Amino acid sequence: MIERDFAEKIGFTYIKNALDIITPMGRKHLESLEYLTDPEKIEAELRIFDEIARYIACNLSLKDNLKHRLCQLRDISGVVKRLGTGETFDDIALFEIKAFCIEAEELRRLLVTPPKSIEIPELSEVIRLLDPEGFGMKSFYIYDAYSVELAALRKRKRELEGLSDGDDVQVNEELNDLINRIGDIEDRIRTMLTERLSKYRELLEEALEKVGFLDFSLAKLEIIEKFGFIRPTVSDSVTEYVGLFEPQVSDELKKKGKEFQPVDIQLQPGVTLITGANMTGKTVLLRSLAVAQVLFQFGFYVPAKRAKIKPVDGVFFLSGDYQSFKHGLSSFAAEMIQLNTAVEFLKVGKRGLFLFDELARNTNPHEGKAIVKSVLRRFNSSKSFTVITTHYDGVSRGENVHHYMVKGLREDIDVSGEVKPETLTEYTDYSLVKVKGEYQVPREALKVATLLGVDPVIIETARELLDEETELH
């Protein structure tokens, strides 16, 4: 699993938290997910889930029935681990195993000819061992069926208890003797049961694993339905999305009755440059790319209408929001440390997805632009996928990079009226346009300031200053 801060930063934690995982076994499976880099393993993981999704889709009521049964299952992995250690289980441990097996069997019966990945092993032998009289109850008791001698002693004990008034010394002595003998036999039976259960340890571990995977898979299926994720194609060359969206932002907009505007983008080895004014969704786009890549490499479907993705060895997202702030570093220093970590990853020959959000924005523009251009050159010569967003002009001049522009604020906006900051998105077109040749980042700051009702005198003075600067050049 990826680091917590990174998962939170790219929106992966939001998706994890949205997973309706019922059992501790399902939660363990989630936390133990492997970040896959082998294309064949990713494809195999996707095919396994494809098969489960088709199976569940054939029976609309099955999912709810399975989830109801999963609610009854407790995690007995701790008890199972103790099997074969020489310990004799008490009645509580034996009850936990019996109850789990009975519920797991009910779950197994619901799964008629399921995919192998969720085929729960039959546990009827374990149930017969712990329920020799076939009552089918989850409670556990040292049954008379385990021992003829035990049954006879218990019968005699009941007879004496019916005769004794509590004052008969001879009867009381016999009762105490019976109680001790019964206790000894019960202990021997517990030892016998524990020893016999040891041979089912692997079977029980398999059942726990399959239950966890089933629970996790059902939660994944619900996430796909909730967010509208699709099955990606494993690519051996480029990464390409049609209708890419950021699940967390999209979900929050839906709650407000609004819609997220998805984007289309293709990434090729080297650098993809994305230019656009501030507040045009560049950061959200990078988050979308990051979370889609991570989901893909954990075997999930992804947030897009169509996706073709090439696996990478790691994902880096430099957005200026760093934990290093807590250690007293300036934002620029923290950013440079993160940049160096990415470069070191590059140096060892690994393929990464590097996402630089407004790199070097926190230093003076002259040096900042030079740093962006230098990073562009360094990463453009690698086999990795690098996306750099910036509002600096001219950073792609003379460089062979793939260049997109965010359309930004609509040209037909009426700026005469004041708007609220939260409604500014309604005036923005977040779609990407491919750029060829020289390009100047749109000057939209004054338009945004005007829309937000900034003092007209400040707006007009700023325009005059820009005009003066243009004349000087």
Would you say residue 4 lies in a domain? no
Residues 254 and 402 in one domain: yes
What is the pLDDT, as a whole number, of residue 470? 67
Q: How confident is the model at residue 473 (pLDDT cuts 50, 70, 90)?
A: low
Q: Confidence band (pLDDT; 50, 70, 90) for 107?
A: very high
Give the model's pLDDT for residue 260.
Answer: 93
**Which pLDDT value is given to residue 420?**
66
Asked if residue 321 has pLDDT above 60, the reply is: no
pLDDT band at 166 (very low <50, low <70, confident <90, very high): low
Strands 428-434 and 402-409: antiparallel
Q: Kindly state whether residue 5 falls inside one of the protein's structural domains.
A: no
216 plus 282 within the same structural domain:
no
Residue partners of 196: CB distance under 8 A and separation at least 6: 129
What type of residue is 2?
I
Cα dihedral sign, 25-31-32-36: positive
Over 50: is that where the pLDDT of 358 sits? yes
Q: What local confidence, expressed as pLDDT, does residue 60 receive?
A: 82
> Does residue 10 lie in a domain region?
no
- What CA–CA distance (Å, rounded) separates 309 from 207? 34
Within a domain: 127: yes
Confidence at residue 332, expressed as pLDDT on a 0 to 100 scale: 79
Does one domain contain both 448 and 436? Answer: no
| Residue 176 pLDDT | 93
Question: 423-432: per-residue pLDDT in tens?
Answer: 667 778 888 9
Are 433 and 451 within one domain?
Answer: no
Both 187 and 318 in one domain: the answer is no
Average pLDDT, integer, range 393-421: 75
pLDDT reading at 458 higher than 80: yes
What integer pLDDT is reported at residue 326 of this predicted model? 46
Q: What percent of the chain has pLDDT over 90?
A: 67
Query: Which residue bears the tokens 């965010």?
Result: 406
For the cut 60, the answer to whether the pLDDT of residue 324 exceeds it is no
Q: What is the domain-level CATH number for residue 425?
A: 3.40.50.300
Phi, psi dihedral angles at 368 (to 5 degrees): -60, -45
Distance (Å, rounded) from C-alpha 192 to C-alpha 151? Answer: 17
Choose one of 208, 227, 246: the last residue of a domain: 227
How confident is the model at residue 464, as a pLDDT? 76
Domain boundary among 210, 227, 244: 227
64-78, 236-250, 316-330 — which is least confidently predicted? 316-330
Are residues 201 and 317 both part of a single domain? no
pLDDT of residue 386: 97
Q: Do 70 and 130 fall within a single domain?
A: yes
Report pLDDT for 162.
80
**453 and 428 in a common domain:** no
Query: Residue 438 — very low, low, confident or very high, per pLDDT cuts 50/70/90?
Result: low
- Of 51 and 442, the one with more pLDDT: 51
Position 313 pLDDT exceeds 90: yes
| Arithmetic mean of pLDDT, 154-162 | 90
Residue with tokens 């192998």: 116
- The verdict on residue 3 lying in a domain is no
423 and 453 assigned to the same domain: no
129 and 261 together in one domain: no
Domain with 152 in it: what CATH number?
1.10.1420.10
Tell me what the mean pLDDT of segment 88-93 comes to: 97
With cut-offs at 50, 70 and 90, classify the pLDDT of residue 117.
Answer: very high
Domain-located, residue 1: no
The 10s digit of each residue's pLDDT in 120-142 is: 999 999 999 999 999 999 999 99
For position 323, what pLDDT does the model report?
Answer: 47
What tokens were used for 10?
């790219």
- Between CA 159 and CA 389 the distance in angstroms is 87
Q: How far apart, in Å, are the Cα atoms of 254 and each of 116, 162, 230, 261, 435?
A: 37, 72, 19, 11, 31
Q: Is 325 a residue whose pLDDT tops 90?
A: no
Q: What is the pLDDT of residues 168-220, one digit of tens each?
A: 788 888 999 999 999 999 999 999 999 999 999 999 999 999 999 999 999 99
Looking at 163-167, 208-212, 310-314, 337-341, which range is the least confident one?
163-167
pLDDT, mean over the chain: 90
Q: What band does 289 get if pLDDT is binned at 50, 70 and 90?
A: very high
Nearest to 16 by CA among 24, 27, 5, 6: 27
- The Cα 183–Cα 193 span in angstroms is 15
Please check whether residues 259 and 173 belong to one and the same domain: no
How far is residue 100's CA from residue 184's CA, in Å, rounded to a whole number? 27
Q: Which of 43-57, 131-145, 324-338, 372-386 has the lowest mean pLDDT?
A: 324-338
Strands 402-409 and 270-275: parallel
Q: What are the residues facing 434 on neighbouring strands?
A: 404
pLDDT of 301 higher than 90? yes
Query: What mean pLDDT do residues 84-95 have?
Result: 96
Q: How confident is the model at residue 164 (pLDDT cuts 50, 70, 90)?
A: low
The string over 359-397, giving b where at least 16 C-beta atoms fall within 10 Å of a residue's C-beta and e elsewhere, is: bbbebeeeebbebbbebbeebbebebbbbbbbbbeebbe
What pLDDT is attached to residue 170? 85
Residue 80 covered by a domain = yes
Residue type, 443: R
Q: Are 213 and 238 in the same domain?
A: no
pLDDT class of 115 with cuts at 50, 70, 90: very high
Please write the tens of the pLDDT for every residue from 47-72.
999 999 999 999 889 999 999 999 99
Domain boundary among 227, 249, 284: 227
Please count the structural domains in the chain: 3
Residue 17, amino acid: N
Closest residue by Cα to residue 264 from 289, 290, 235, 291: 289
Backbone angles phi, psi at 411, to 5 degrees: -70, -25
**Does 9 reside within a domain?**
no
Count of alpha carbons within 13 Å of 88, Cβ hemisphere only?
Answer: 7
Q: Is the dihedral of CA 464, 467, 471, 473 positive or negative?
A: positive
Is the CB of residue 358 less than 8 Å from the CB of residue 327? no
User: Which structural domain, as residue segments, surrounds residue 427?
Assistant: 233-440
